[in-house]
Amino acid sequence: MKNIKVLMLAVAGVFALGFSSCVNDLDVTPIDPNVQLPQDVLKDEAAFEALLAKCYQGLACSSSDGANGGPDISGVDGGFGQYLRAYFNLQCLTTDEATCCWNDTGLPDMHNMNWQASNQFIVAMYYRIFYQVSLCNELIRQVNTNPAGVEFQHKGALIAEARALRALSYYHAIDLFGNVPFSTESDAVGAVGPKQISRADLFAWIEKECQELLEGNDLAAEGTNVYGRCDKGFVKMILAKLYLNAEVYVGEDRYAECAAICEDLVAKYNLHENFADLFAADNHLFTANATFGAANEIIFAVPHDGINTTSYGGTNFLIFAGTGGDMNAAEAGISSGWGGLSVTKQVSERYTAGDARAMFFTDYGTEIVDIFTFTSGGYKSMKFRNVNHDGSAAQTTGFVDTDFPLFRVADAHLMLAECAARGKADNAKGLASLNAVRARAGLEAVSSFTAQDVLDERSREFMWEGCRRSDLVRFGQFTTADYVWEYKGSVKEGAAVADHRNLFPLPPADVNANGNLTQNAGY
């Protein structure tokens, strides 16, 4: 049982402050009929911390009322619209990493890569991003205005963490949607029609935010904040990923800057010796700020708790939806599986014998014969599981305890290796990082490598961790015929799709409501 006090679990009803995010709250409104004024609620620092807790909780849950409560955003199913589940649908389900046999309206279109602008799963991710932005904006705004005149002890830290979380969501916005509506705490509450920021300007804004947070003293140093809260390691990962993808976002080569950050990260964090432990029910033990000594691979995790933090998204979705058919649900640590997710043969066959990361149920074979039948083929991932790393049971089998490792130092290792393969970092250091990741997986060292080798290693290392689409876009393999997978482009053998699908569309309702917004090309 987890015995760590997580701020996120202390969410109170103080978040319903009548805030607005962007354009008429982007059709995203807090569902709470008992809205209270800030001065009536934010009377001490604990209340402000509860509001910050809501900013964290928004990454893990659909609402503050539990898995069955009303979702924070209207018009989107609470399960579909949970932040990490929506992110998985866009970052993993659209790639070779996953198919889903369910036939919910718009869901098959994600893997088939023929989605429409109004697709509910894309809309869910968009609104979740900007709901998070609005939460963080409101926290910063309320701390600065301080309506009840609270005497703060940690004012700077409250603002810094909200800024860091906001930078994360804006990073997801620039990666998934490109040119997006933009607002900060400086914009008037309820302002109609925020202006659309260009991808280049948003890149510069995120870069500046991250640099200021790293240069300042308000955000905790790497691995020193309370478990479940972000620190400078979190911000460095955002900035490294921003630089890694700079050619896609702004047409600039920033690999050398990415490499410099990654060198710093790999010097501060350690690869955990057992890969499987990182995805167990007690994987909080291997998080940097859990104060468990050298076991600090996970730089930041989104906490899940089978009793206190429940949702139908996040790791709960990955474990339940990835289990079904003849699989043993008890082995996954759950009551029964939903039978939804499979892995394409292009991914499962990429693993070689002896690779500790090849955690699959294999009875149905590698090839997916019928994409709408869970048992018709395709390996099933058993990477995430609701069982403690020593084999003991988690708290409950109805919801999972497994945290989602949003950032791991293994990613810094492979980003450094990629930068080296592109000629922008020391080759010996890049090779050492690549081989460190391979050694942990039980694979032999290599003496040389290419950028494609790193991409393939990333596929094996980060399956279902939300990296794949961005990686394929960066390598020019997401839409083209240079690399295809089962049912890409709605074809069993895989086919190219139009290049405009490298970006997702803005919701038509938002574009129609805000004359400042221009839809992405091709939609």
**Confidence (pLDDT) at 9:** 36
In sequence order, the 6+-apart residues with CB closer than 8 A to the CB of 297 are: 269, 270, 271, 272, 278, 286, 288, 408, 409, 410
Q: CB–CB of 278/272 below 8 Å? A: yes
Record the pTM: 0.94
- Measured CA to CA, the distance from residue 455 to residue 475 in angstroms comes to 8
Contact 109, 348 (CB under 8 A): no
pLDDT of residue 65: 78
- Candidates 219, 133, 118; CA nearest to 174 is 133
pLDDT of residue 190: 63
Spatial distance between the Cα atoms of 177 and 125, rounded to a whole number of angstroms? 10
Is the separation of the CB atoms in 256 and 424 below 8 Å? yes
Residues with Cβ < 8 Å from 268, sequence gap 6 or more? 222, 223, 233
Whole-angstrom distance, CA of residue 49 vs CA of residue 46: 5
C-alpha to C-alpha distance for 344 and 484, rounded to whole angstroms? 11
- Rounded (5°) CA angle 500-502-506: 75
The strand pairing partners of 190, in sequence order, are none
Say if CB 49 and CB 57 are below 8 A apart: no
- Asked if residue 188 lies in contact with residue 256, where contact means CB atoms within 8 angstroms, the answer is no
Is 261 in contact with 222 (CB distance < 8 Å)? no
The H or E element containing residue 53 is: helix 45-60
Residue given tokens 């029609």 in the structure block: 193
- The encoded tokens of residue 412 equal 């810094």
Contacts of 490 (CB under 8 A, 6+ apart): 112, 113, 114
Beta partners for residue 404, in sequence order: 302
Query: Cα–Cα distance between 299 and 221 in angstroms, integer?
Result: 12
Q: What angle do CA 61, 135, 227 make, to 5 degrees?
A: 55
Q: 506-509, long-range: CB within 8 Å, 24+ apart, which pairs?
A: 506/117, 506/126, 506/177, 506/180, 507/27, 507/117, 507/118, 507/122, 507/123, 507/126, 507/127, 508/117, 508/118, 509/27, 509/118, 509/123
- pLDDT tens for the chain, 523 residues: list them: 343 333 333 333 334 333 333 333 333 333 343 456 666 788 999 999 999 999 999 999 988 877 766 788 877 777 878 999 999 999 999 999 999 999 999 999 999 999 999 999 999 999 999 999 999 999 999 999 999 999 999 999 999 999 999 999 999 999 999 999 999 999 876 666 789 999 999 999 999 999 999 999 999 999 999 889 999 999 999 999 999 999 999 999 999 999 999 999 999 999 999 999 999 999 999 998 765 555 699 999 999 999 998 999 999 999 999 999 999 999 999 999 999 999 999 999 999 999 999 999 999 999 999 999 999 999 999 999 999 999 999 999 999 999 999 999 999 999 999 999 999 999 999 999 999 999 999 999 999 999 999 999 999 999 999 999 999 999 999 999 999 999 999 999 999 999 999 999 999 999 999 999 999 999 9
Write the DSSP assignment of 205-270 as a string of letters.
HHHHHHHHHHHSSSSPPTT-SPTTS--HHHHHHHHHHHHHTHHHHHS---HHHHHHHHHHHHHH--
Q: What is the DSSP letter of 305?
A: B
Give the per-residue pLDDT at 263. 98
**Residue 33 burial (10 A CB sphere; 0-12, 13-18, 19+):** exposed
Q: Report residue 434 CA to chain centroid gap.
A: 23
Tokens of 32: 């709470």
Give kind and range of the element (H or E) at residue 380: strand 380-381
**Dist. CA 429–CA 408, nearest whole Å:** 18
* CA-wise closest residue to 79 among 64, 92, 61: 61
Distance CA 244, CA 264 (A): 15
- 228 and 301 Cβ atoms separated by less than 8 Å: yes
In 318-378, beta strands by DSSP E:
341-342, 360-361
DSSP 273: S
- Tokens found for residue 313: 């998204």
Q: Give start and end residues of each alpha helix (H) in 333-374.
A: 345-348
Spatial separation of the C-alpha atoms in residues 33 and 47, rounded to whole Å: 20
State residue 130 phi and psi, 5-degree precision.
Answer: -80, -20
First to last CA, the chain: 48
